[in-house]
């Protein structure tokens, strides 16, 4: 129990509340929904139409944004309330336009929990996407391969995830405008979208696998012991993103799909020390395949 005199120094940033005689401290939080609406209105004012599909591009995978036709581009630093990425390989731009006749909003880079952003900020772009009227979200990321056969260069359609970050973007007071208090997570990654991805990959002759993605907080790479733990828990690949965005998207009622590029073997399974440069290089090598697969996804979505 925190005595009142001990809580006092924090009252400028927090408020005290009583619960059954216990004294607890709750952090002050500003409502998120008004900030999301303000960002969405800003983008509408810049000519951004309601997208049918949002696409988040992970490390080294930004080439797809170049395929957007009739592109309108806004730097994330210009968007009210939008967090700014500090990581190499994440340009920090929003690109609106069409791909294969489908209206898309492409996030050229993302922000991560490990940069120091609260999880509510990490998922802010996804909530803006939903506020703009999007129906579906396609997440991409780089990941370390755990399962046998997930060698560098392999593309893995994410079937399910393990949230090992240690927090949830939904923590705190729920705002009904953003979604329900207790959203169901039985099927985070939409079976229909996964099927379309598989068909698109087959049509292009791009080999893909399917598996479970485990998200760690980072920024340090995982230890071999942590990788063994993740494997025991059922993970096929590991990374530092994607899961918070997927949770927030399902909270908002979006259909979600996710594609992980295996950029390296995970710690203890690799023959050399892990590095971000390796991740970016793997992304550049796979850029053409990933871009073609995402464009084919857009084309097949337009068929209904």
* Options 112, 117, 161, 251, the catalytic residue: 112
Name residue 34's beta-bridge partners.
Answer: none
Q: Is the pLDDT of residue 42 over 70?
A: yes
294 burial class (0-12, 13-18, 19+ CB within 10 angstroms)?
buried
Task: Check residue 283 and give its pLDDT.
Answer: 65
Q: Which two tokens stand for residue 68?
A: 């957007």
Name residue 73's beta-bridge partners.
Answer: 95
Q: Is the pLDDT of residue 131 over 60?
A: yes
* Options 39, 62, 65, 90, the catalytic residue: 90
Q: Which two tokens stand for residue 84?
A: 């700014």
Any catalytic annotation for residue 287? no
* Options 130, 131, 240, 246, the catalytic residue: 240
Query: What pTM did the predictor assign?
Result: 0.87
Any catalytic annotation for residue 90? yes
Average pLDDT score over residue span 105-124: 93
User: Other CB atoms closer than 10 Å to residue 255's CB: what's the count?
Assistant: 19
Distance between CA atoms of residues 231 and 75, nearest Å: 38
Average pLDDT score over residue span 262-266: 89
* Options 78, 115, 175, 278, the catalytic residue: 115
17 or 284, which is more confident: 284
* Options 85, 136, 241, 291, the catalytic residue: 241
Any catalytic annotation for residue 114? yes
Check residue 140 and give left, alpha or beta (phi > 0: left; psi -120 to 50: alpha).
beta
Any catalytic annotation for residue 96? no
Q: What is the pLDDT of residues 167-183, one digit of tens each?
A: 999 999 999 999 999 99
* Options 276, 281, 284, 302, the catalytic residue: 276
From 122, 140, 158, 136, select the one nearest 61 (Cα to Cα).
140
Q: Which two tokens stand for residue 28?
A: 């002050």
* Omega cis (within 30) before 219: yes
* Options 7, 114, 168, 281, the catalytic residue: 114
* Options 52, 59, 163, 258, the catalytic residue: 59
Distance between CA atoms of residues 102 and 46, nearest Å: 19
* Options 85, 96, 263, 264, the catalytic residue: 264
Any catalytic annotation for residue 264? yes
> Percentage helix, strand, coil, to 5, in the chain?
35, 25, 40
* Options 40, 120, 134, 142, the catalytic residue: 142
Task: Check residue 226 and give its pLDDT.
Answer: 97
Average pLDDT score over residue span 3-29: 42
Distance between CA atoms of residues 145 and 257, nearest Å: 19
Any catalytic annotation for residue 241? yes
Task: Check residue 286 and give its pLDDT.
Answer: 74
Q: What is the pLDDT of residues 73-95, one digit of tens each?
A: 999 999 999 998 876 655 689 99
In the three-class reduction of DSSP (H, G, I as helix; E, B as strand; rest coil), residue 103 is classed as strand
Residue 273: which residues within 8 A CB-CB, separation 6 or more? none
Any catalytic annotation for residue 5? no
Q: Which two tokens stand for residue 58?
A: 């992970």
Distance between CA atoms of residues 201 and 194, nearest Å: 11
Average pLDDT score over residue span 245-259: 98
Complete domains list, the chain, with CATH: 30-301 (3.40.50.1580)
Any catalytic annotation for residue 221? no
């Amino acid at each position: 129990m925190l005595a009142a005199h001990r809580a006092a120094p924090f009252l400028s940033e927090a408020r005290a509340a009583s619960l059954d005689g216990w004294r607890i401290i709750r952090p002050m939080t500003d409502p998120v929904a008004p900030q999301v609406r303000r960002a969405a209105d800003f983008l509408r004012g810049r000519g951004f139409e309601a997208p049918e599909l949002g696409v988040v591009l992970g490390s080294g995978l930004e080439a797809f944004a170049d395929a957007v036709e009739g592109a309108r581009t806004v730097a994330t630093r210009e968007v009210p309330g939008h967090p700014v990425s500090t990581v190499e390989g994440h340009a920090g731009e929003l690109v609106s336009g069409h791909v294969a006749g489908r209206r898309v909003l492409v996030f050229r880079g993302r922000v991560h929990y490990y940069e120091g952003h609260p999880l509510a900020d990490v998922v802010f772009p996804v909530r803006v996407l939903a506020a703009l009227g999007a129906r579906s979200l396609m997440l991409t990321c780089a990941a370390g391969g755990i399962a046998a056969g997930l060698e560098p260069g392999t593309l893995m359609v994410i079937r399910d995830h393990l949230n090992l970050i240690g927090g949830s973007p939904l923590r705190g007071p729920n705002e009904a405008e953003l979604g329900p208090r207790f959203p169901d997570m039985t099927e985070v990654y939409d079976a229909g979208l996964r099927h379309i991805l598989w068909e698109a990959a087959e049509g292009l002759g791009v080999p893909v696998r399917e598996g479970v993605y485990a998200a760690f907080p980072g920024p340090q790479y995982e230890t071999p012991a942590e990788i063994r733990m993740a494997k025991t828990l059922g993970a096929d690949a590991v990374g530092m993103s994607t899961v918070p965005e997927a949770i927030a998207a399902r909270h908002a009622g979006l259909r979600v799909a996710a594609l992980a590029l295996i950029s390296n073997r995970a710690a203890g399974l690799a023959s050399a020390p892990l590095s971000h440069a390796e991740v970016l290089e793997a992304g550049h090598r796979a850029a053409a395949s990933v871009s073609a697969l995402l464009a084919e996804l857009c084309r097949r979505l337009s068929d209904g």
